């Protein structure tokens, strides 16, 4: 079931050539600390068209693709960086805005949405994106790729592949918002233009490390030729993982918050973010059975677009990586033996004590390490089974994408081997509001124990 057949492969370039003075885009240190070894893949599932008497019902997939490519070409005039390619400039990477464009594939799938009941169970989602996972030739690799796939039922999947070197979640959804607006008829001139200005997050001159850097480490930088190969070898040696999806409905979210408020380390108005992270960290640490003395680390994101996080404030339309990634550590015994309210308090304290100066010192430290030709890493072990990497898309307009095919009925972030051991992604649901889904990756036996964990069972429901 579900064989995907390719119909068309093309390249979409900006509708207007990039001017010579806009040909080079400098990357910030927060961009450069993100690996350019692999792609992130996601899939939007759009519903089958209206009843058979609707004139749009029999619209050929080629016609839909042509319309999408036309609006995408206009959107790339604003987002010309996405149509460029990476190049090396000394110890740094930068983007040459050379209008080489983005691949756009068109395919059909011998399957229907109903084959899986819940699209979260779709078994062919890896085939709904352009195939490459690892970036083996960085200077010749597109930064963005698309695949449009029609199913037998008339439903359509749009696979989007991104290089996180140039976008974080906020930037990506700003791009999708602009594309949606242009596709619906807005002129690019009428939209708030994206802000490609990495100097907003630059290091001081000279760099000043006024606060010790806890959240990042550095290592020898692999050669450009070895980047993708080293990632594949690294992940081949890692323990195989199982991916499962869980859901938290609003009553479960509210119940977890009350559990934390009333706990022995409770505090007023814990956020749903603090509560969810605390539950994930505690439950995963227990499921892993880590020795009490083992240090476990939870990596999460703080957006610098949030109020009072940066001065001057980062514009909402800023494109690039604008999130700092705290690496919060504690002993496994500390996490396991204490109530979940204790873990939530760790997040509350860490979030509130992460000041702009902490982040600026980290950016300045990165500058010195990059000049030395070193690679910036999170201060966390994502392979050895002690760390947790978590990011939240819950507040992003995932289901607000409107490209003339109706609103998505399902969105999937396609888990890749490079995500590692111990990943928890918080996603919105089609229902919206306070409902959320947790996409979790763990080795099989640890996943079994997580599913049996009393705390996790109480506040989540397995979807698949």
Q: Is residue 204 domain-resident?
A: no
| pLDDT confidence of residue 138 | 87
Q: What is the rounded distance in angstroms from the CA atom of residue 150 to the CA atom of residue 375?
A: 41
> Looking at the domain assignment, is residue 201 inside a domain?
no
- pLDDT for residue 320 is more than 90: yes
Is 318 found in the same domain as 275?
Answer: yes
Position 213 in a domain = no
Do residues 272 and 173 both lie within one domain? Answer: no
What's the pLDDT band for 386 if we cut at 50, 70, 90?
Answer: very high
- The pLDDT of residue 213 is above 90: yes
In a domain, 363, yes or no: yes
The reply to whether 192 and 246 lie within a common domain is no
- Domain boundary pick from 142, 177, 196: 196
Residue 357: CATH number of its domain: 3.30.559.10
Domain count, the chain: 2
Q: Is the pLDDT of residue 109 over 50?
A: yes
| Residue 141, in any domain of the structure | yes
- Within a domain: 207: no
Band (223; pLDDT cuts 50, 70, 90): low
Q: Is 333 domain-assigned?
A: yes
- H/E run at residue 348: helix 340-353
Strand blocks (E) in 350-400: 374-378, 387-392
Do 185 and 291 lie in a common domain? no
The per-residue pLDDT for 22 is: 86
pTM of the model: 0.93
Q: Which of 68, 159, 151 is nearest to 412 (CA)?
A: 159
Lowest mean pLDDT among 36-40, 53-57, 152-156, 258-262: 53-57
271, 154: one domain = no
State how far the Cα of 128 lies from the Cα of 119, in Å rounded to an integer: 13
φ, ψ of residue 82 to 5 degrees: the values are: -65, -20
pLDDT band (50, 70, 90) for residue 53 = low
**CA gap 80, 75 in Å, rounded:** 8
Query: How far is 183 from 190, CA to CA, in rounded Å?
Result: 13
The residue ranges of DSSP E strands in 278-320, in sequence order, are 295-299, 302-303
Q: Are residues 247 and 145 in the same domain?
A: no
- Domain with 357 in it: 230-462
Which among 158, 179, 174 has a CA at the least distance from the CA of 71?
179
Give the angle subtended at the CA of 147 by the CAs of 141 and 149, to the nearest 5°.
160
**What's the longest Cα–Cα distance across the chain?**
68
Q: 158 and 61, same structural domain?
A: yes
The mean per-residue pLDDT over the stretch 437-461 comes to 97
208 in a structural domain: no
């Amino acid at each position: 079931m579900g064989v995907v057949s390719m119909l068309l492969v093309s390249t979409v370039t900006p509708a207007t050539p990039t001017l010579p003075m806009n040909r080079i885009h400098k990357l910030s240190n927060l961009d450069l600390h993100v690996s350019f070894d692999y792609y992130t893949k996601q899939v939007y599932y759009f519903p089958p068209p209206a009843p058979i008497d609707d004139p749009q019902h029999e619209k050929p997939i080629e016609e839909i693709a042509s319309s999408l490519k036309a609006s995408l070409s206009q959107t790339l005039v604003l987002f010309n960086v996405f149509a460029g390619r990476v190049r090396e400039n000394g110890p740094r990477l930068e983007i040459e805005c050379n209008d080489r464009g983005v691949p756009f594939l068109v395919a059909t799938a011998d399957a229907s949405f109903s084959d899986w009941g819940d699209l979260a169970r779709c078994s062919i989602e890896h085939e709904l994106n352009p195939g490459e996972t690892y970036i083996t030739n960085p200077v010749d690799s597109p930064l963005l790729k698309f695949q449009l796939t029609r199913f037998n039922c008339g439903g359509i999947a749009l696979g989007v592949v991104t290089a996180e070197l140039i976008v974080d979640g906020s930037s990506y959804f700003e791009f999708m918002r602009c594309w949606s607006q242009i596709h619906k008829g807005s002129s690019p001139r009428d939209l708030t233009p994206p802000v490609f200005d990495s100097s907003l997050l630059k290091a001081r001159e000279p760099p000043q490390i006024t606060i010790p850097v806890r959240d990042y480490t550095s290592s020898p930088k692999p050669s450009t030729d070895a980047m993708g190969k080293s990632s594949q070898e690294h992940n081949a040696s890692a323990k195989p993982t199982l991916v499962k999806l869980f859901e938290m409905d609003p009553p479960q979210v509210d119940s977890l918050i009350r559990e934390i408020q009333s706990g022995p380390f409770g505090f007023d108005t814990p956020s749903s973010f603090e509560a969810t992270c605390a539950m994930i960290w505690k439950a995963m640490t227990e499921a892993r059975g880590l020795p009490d003395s083992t240090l476990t680390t939870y990596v999460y994101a703080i957006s610098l677009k949030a109020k009072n996080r940066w001065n001057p404030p980062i514009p909402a339309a800023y494109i690039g990586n604008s999130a700092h990634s705290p690496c919060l550590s504690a002993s496994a015994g500390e996490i396991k033996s204490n109530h979940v309210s204790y873990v939530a308090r760790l997040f509350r304290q860490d979030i509130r004590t992460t000041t702009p100066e902490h982040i600026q010192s980290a950016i300045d430290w990165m500058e010195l390490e990059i000049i030395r030709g070193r690679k910036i890493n999170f201060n966390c072990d994502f392979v050895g089974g002690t760390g947790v990497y978590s990011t939240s898309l819950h507040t992003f307009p995932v289901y607000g994408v409107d490209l003339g095919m109706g609103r998505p009925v399902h969105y999937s972030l396609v888990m890749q081997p490079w995500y590692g051991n111990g990943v928890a992604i918080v996603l919105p649901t089609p229902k919206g509001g306070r409902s959320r889904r947790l996409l979790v990756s763990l080795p099989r036996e640890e996943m079994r124990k997580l599913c049996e964990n009393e705390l996790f069972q109480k506040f989540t429901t397995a979807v698949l």
